[in-house]
Amino acid sequence: MGRSRRTLPEELLLLALDPTTGTTAQPQSLDLGLAGAQLVELALAGRIAPDGDRIAVVVPRPTGDPTLDCALELLRRRGAPVRAVHWIGGPRLGLRQTYLSHLERCGMVHAVAGQMCGVLPTTRYQATDNAISREIRSRLDSAIRTGVPPDPRTAALAALAHAVGLGKHLYPGNEGRSSRSRLRDLIRHDPMGGLVAHAVMDVQNGVGAQPRRGPASAGGRQATAGGRPAPEPAHGVPMQPQRGGVGSMARAVAH
């Protein structure tokens, strides 16, 4: 593998990868989760920090990870803190494939060529070492089973897994209901993970196109919870339609 530590986007993707079929669970929301996982990873590296419901760059120095550094540079270019929901709701076509290709280069998955309906070429990805996925999964299982507050990385992973809907994939059926509930509860153990997870869910619910409503200001604009006029979206940050949520975007993403 060549590295002693995996990033959160990589771990989230490995959690979502079905070891039998080689497909990813919840592909429509997974791209949003990967964008959110990048934010959490950058926060853990000390490069960005939450500023209310926004993300601010505090140390623009590269991390050495090309994909993370690309996201960091884009955030830096905004010139001002960006609402997490606007960043996550931006176009992320190809992000999942970028990480799958990266995992393949690292030797953690291998590509298997196939065909859909006997005609369309497809590529599925099989884990080369299921022990890696089992180790990631065991961290979540331990946090759920013991009730001991997990480390920030595991708490953020749990929050993202819940946000993209992996609970039913990891803990299926009626017997997994209590585990899914506890997975959701782990969201409170990491502020950054919680902020990002809620932003992912907001985009999926189609509420990312406008600030949360508050008391109307005298000028007619909605005010934030702190009483300030709600800020306009950062320039150049794509906005999500109020209807359709992530579905319209995700239909353009190959399974």
Specify whether the CB–CB gap between 220 and 78 falls below 8 A.
Answer: no
Mean pLDDT to the nearest integer, 84-106 = 88
pLDDT above 70 (res 238): no
Q: H or E segment at 121?
A: strand 120-127
Tokens (6 digits) for 242: 């109020």
Q: List, for residues 39-87, the tens digit of each pLDDT value.
A: 999 999 999 999 999 999 999 999 999 999 999 999 999 999 999 999 9
- pLDDT above 90 (res 166): yes
- Label residue 118 by pLDDT band (50, 70, 90): low
pTM confidence score: 0.76
End-to-end CA distance of the chain: 26
pLDDT surpassing 90 at residue 8: yes
What is the b/e burial string over 157-187, where b = at least 16 CB atoms within 10 angstroms of the residue's CB? Answer: bbbbbbbbbbbebbbeeeeeeebbebbbebb
User: What Cα–Cα distance (Å) separates residue 23 from each residue in 19, 96, 104, 116, 176?
Assistant: 8, 12, 14, 13, 22
Sheet holding 54-57, edge to edge: 48-51, 54-57, 82-83
Residue 228 has pLDDT above 60, yes or no: no
pLDDT at 4: 47
Q: Do residues 39 and 46 lie in contact, with contact meaning Cβ atoms separated by under 8 Å?
A: no
pLDDT at 199 over 80: yes
Integer Cα distance of 32 and 17 in angstroms:
16
Comparing 56-70, 102-116, 195-209, the range with the smallest average pLDDT is 102-116
Question: Quick one: tokens of 97?
Answer: 């494939």
Of the pLDDT bands very low, low, confident and very high (cuts 50, 70, 90), residue 158 is very high
Is-contact 9 34, C-beta < 8 A?
yes
Q: State how far the Cα of 96 lies from the Cα of 3, in Å rounded to an integer.
A: 20
Tabulate helix, strand, coil % of the chain (nearest 5).
50, 15, 40
